[in-house]
Chain A
Amino acid sequence: MNTRFVFVGACFVLLALFPLVSGSYGIDFVTKIMVYAIFALSLELLVGATGLICFGQAAFFGIGAYAAVLLSPQSDSPSLLWLLPACVAAAAAYALVVGSLSLRTKGVYFIMVTLAFAQMAYYVVHDTPLGGGTDGIYMMMKPVLGKLLDLDKAASLYGFTLACLLLVFGGLGVLNRSRFGRALAGIRVNEQRMRATGFSTYPYKLAAFTVSGGIAGLAGFLFAVKDGFVNPEMMSWHLSGAVLIMIILGGIGHLRGALIGAFAFALLQELFKSEAIFGAFAKHWHLGLGLSIIASVVFLPRGLVGLPQQIRARLLGAKNTGGATP
């Protein structure tokens, strides 16, 4: 229990100190990873805490991002005070609609239905001129908070993203320990029994789905502000797949798994893209990424979070509890 707190605390301290030693490339890169970490945490609430495998999380991410650009005025900096809540609300609203429909289904249906709803959102921005079609649109002026905070500055954005990450991480930690979180855990473990004990499980799942959509919208907002640009690829199912992989890679069922997974995924991607290491082959970085994903399924069934335990079990000669081989 304690080592976990120390680990997570150390992670956040390192993140807070990082800008002191890094150049602008590093700050931008880590900001991106932190945004992905928030995004991954939003999915962890569904998959890890509630046991709902959503394969359309990119839709909420994309809606948060598109809302940020579309709601911003062309010639003036929008205020963070209303823009951020509006983006989160837009994503949460779509999540409420999608959730209310897709939660009527179960298991594989749920996976595929959430995927299909995300595709629906994808085609809306892809095929209509609303958000610039396939080209996407630019965010002219970055949001500000009075004189206090100007998100156009990379360092401010870094700090703000870190604060959001901390807030989401802490918030979900509290939520998981609350009565609501315990109910979600109960649904994950045995929904039938929860219903038998008198819980109406549907509203709980819908609430989790909506909150998750809102957090994904927050991540999308931050991403749009960071890049100053959105395009339909932000809603593509590849991104839904990537974020699912982040949490699986990190370890399902642990908040820090989402954090570790986002970092591991981004670093792996960066590694395989590196021309310094792989030369001309770096163009085919998906190959390395794909193979490492397959390897992680075979060798790390519990994700990176379970790795220390797996190593310990191996060293002690105990039976490998990882269940790597059937």
Chain B
Amino acid sequence: MDFSTFLIQCLNALQYGLLLFLVASGLTLIFGIMGVINLAHGSFYMMGAYMAYALAPIVASTFGGGFFSTLLVGVVLAVLLGYVLEWAFFSFLYEREHLQQVLMTYGLILVFEEMRSLLVGDEVHGVEVPAFLSGTLPLGEMMTYPVYRLFISGVCLALALGMYVVFTRTRLGMMIRAGSANREMVQSLGVDIKFLYRVVFAAGMAIAVLAGMVAAPVSSVYPGMGDTVLIICFVVVVIGGIGSIRGALLAALLIGVVDTFGKVLLPQAAGVLVYVLMALILLWKPDGLFKAA
């Protein structure tokens, strides 16, 4: 492996890791703050990818098109849907045991998969990279790197930074953090905790949908894609420490590296490597790298 190939794989690892982080952050947020294990989180990612495929022509014909308007419409839809889903299904689950959360969100996965099948069918689709992001950048003497992958990394980094700012620097972030520590106390101080939860859920969902939309041109769009992402995100969350955003970021980048280089260096064992990594880390730290307080 020469240096340019190495560099390209590093960039791929970064892009994959950041994307994983984005999806996993919603998973760990919803668990860390509301205490709900959301198996359907992978389905949100899948919804995003299918939106990128199915919404683009609709948006193009109504608003005159544009990649960014499709993203915007997708995010708005996701927020609305997240708000309704939280109200209809997830608000039931806060007081329930983990087991019942697992059960209900598993039921939701089946429902979402079939809704997808009914609405857009079961075919595998490709999504085109928008024209203005379709170029490549020269890298070394022989190699080039697609601009779109850098764009994905950029979007993920911007969102991660945005989340960090919201959480640590704003009043909303303060209330969310307080709400996760002590729900009753925050409520008695006059904060509408139900509304706050709904906002967090909708935001977590919107981020997963956005991740799916942005990733669609690279990963293509296929049935069951949510499952794959969900399980890997579980691994991210477990390695990082449940509820810890910092941990999720580190774990996602680690998995990005292991998975990307595993596929190049040890293609036969690529699928297993991530889980071996998880087993090793848990041997060393059973509560993950950063245990949330």
Residues of chain B lying within 8 A (CB to CB) of residue A107: 98
- CB of A286 within 8 A of CB of B113, answer yes
- CB of A127 within 8 A of CB of B37, answer no
A102→B106 CA distance, assembly (Å): 22
- CB of A119 within 8 A of CB of B108, answer no
Q: Total A-B residue pairs with C-beta atoms closer than 8 Å?
A: 126
8 Å CB interface, A224-241 against B: 237-238, 241
A293→B111 CA distance, assembly (Å): 10
Residues of chain A lying within 8 A (CB to CB) of residue B37: 108, 111
- CB of B111 within 8 A of CB of A111, answer no
A2 beta carbon closer than 8 Å to chain B: no
A101→B111 CA distance, assembly (Å): 34
A101/B279 contact (C-beta < 8 A), A108-B98, A112-B234, A123-B272 known:
yes
Q: Give the Cβ gap from A41 to chain B, nearest Cβ, in Å.
A: 17
A293/B104 contact (C-beta < 8 A), A105-B287, A109-B238 known:
yes
A73→B111 CA distance, assembly (Å): 43
Q: Give the Cβ gap from A205 to chain B, nearest Cβ, in Å.
A: 14
A166→B155 CA distance, assembly (Å): 58
A286/B110 contact (C-beta < 8 A), A109-B238, A115-B234, A294-B104 known:
yes
Number of interface residues of B (CB under 8 A): 46
A289→B113 CA distance, assembly (Å): 12
- CB of B98 within 8 A of CB of A53, answer yes
- CB of B100 within 8 A of CB of A284, answer no
Binary interface profile of A, 98-125, with partner B (CB < 8 Å = 1, else 0)?
Answer: 0001101101110111011101100110
B242 beta carbon closer than 8 Å to chain A: yes
Q: Which of A82-90, A170-178, A244-252, A307-315 contacts B (4 or more CB under 8 A)?
A: A244-252
A116/B99 contact (C-beta < 8 A), A293-B107, A298-B92 known:
no
Residues of chain A lying within 8 A (CB to CB) of residue B286: 104-105, 109
A286→B107 CA distance, assembly (Å): 9
Closest B residue, CB atoms, query A123: B271
Residues of chain A lying within 8 A (CB to CB) of residue B77: none
A47→B37 CA distance, assembly (Å): 17
A55 beta carbon closer than 8 Å to chain B: yes
- CB of A101 within 8 A of CB of B283, answer yes
B87 beta carbon closer than 8 Å to chain A: no
Q: Which of B65-73, B114-122, B123-131, B160-168 contacts A (4 or more CB under 8 A)?
A: B114-122
A290 beta carbon closer than 8 Å to chain B: yes
Partner of A116, one of B94, B238, B287: B238
A287 beta carbon closer than 8 Å to chain B: yes
8 Å CB interface, A175-208 against B: none
Residues of chain A lying within 8 A (CB to CB) of residue B89: 294
A293/B234 contact (C-beta < 8 A), A248-B103, A284-B118 known:
no
B212 beta carbon closer than 8 Å to chain A: no
Residues of chain B lying within 8 A (CB to CB) of residue A301: 96, 100
- CB of B110 within 8 A of CB of A293, answer yes
A294→B271 CA distance, assembly (Å): 32
B204 beta carbon closer than 8 Å to chain A: no
Among A102, A105, A109, A244, the most chain B Cβ lie within 10 Å of the Cβ of A109
Residues of chain B lying within 8 A (CB to CB) of residue A292: 107
Among A119, A289, A296, the most chain B Cβ lie within 10 Å of the Cβ of A119
B261 beta carbon closer than 8 Å to chain A: no
Partner of A112, one of B96, B110, B238: B238
A104/B269 contact (C-beta < 8 A), A53-B99, A116-B235, A291-B107 known:
no
B270 beta carbon closer than 8 Å to chain A: yes
A301→B97 CA distance, assembly (Å): 10
Residues of chain A lying within 8 A (CB to CB) of residue B104: 293-294, 297
B188 beta carbon closer than 8 Å to chain A: no
- CB of A47 within 8 A of CB of B99, answer yes
Residues of chain B lying within 8 A (CB to CB) of residue A101: 279, 282-283
Residues of chain A lying within 8 A (CB to CB) of residue B137: none
Residues of chain A lying within 8 A (CB to CB) of residue B10: none
A127/B98 contact (C-beta < 8 A), A112-B237, A293-B106, A326-B92 known:
no
A294→B237 CA distance, assembly (Å): 25
Binary interface profile of B, 55-69, with partner A (CB < 8 Å = 1, else 0)?
Answer: 000000000000000
Among B39, B92, B96, B286, the most chain A Cβ lie within 10 Å of the Cβ of B286
- CB of A119 within 8 A of CB of B275, answer yes
Partner of A248, one of B99, B231, B234, B269: B99
- CB of A126 within 8 A of CB of B288, answer no
Q: Which 9 A-B pairs have the closest CB atoms?
A: A290-B110, A123-B271, A293-B107, A120-B275, A287-B114, A290-B111, A294-B107, A104-B286, A286-B110
Query: What 6 additional pairs, Cβ within 8 angstroms, besides A120-B279, A126-B271?
Result: A53-B98, A104-B286, A127-B271, A284-B114, A284-B117, A297-B107
Q: Identify 18 residue pairs between A and B in the complex whose beta-carbon atoms are under 8 Å apart, listed by A's number.
A: A53-B99, A101-B279, A102-B282, A104-B286, A108-B37, A113-B238, A115-B234, A116-B231, A120-B272, A127-B268, A127-B270, A237-B227, A248-B103, A252-B99, A284-B118, A287-B114, A294-B108, A297-B104
Residues of chain B touching chain A, judged by Cβ–Cβ distance below 8 Å, are 31, 37, 39, 89, 92, 94-96, 98-100, 102-104, 106-111, 113-115, 117-118, 227, 231, 234-235, 237-238, 242, 268-272, 275-276, 278-279, 282-283, 286-288
Residues of chain A touching chain B, judged by Cβ–Cβ distance below 8 Å, are 47, 53, 55, 101-102, 104-105, 107-109, 111-113, 115-117, 119-120, 123-124, 126-128, 237-238, 241, 244-245, 248, 252, 284, 286-287, 289-294, 296-298, 301, 326
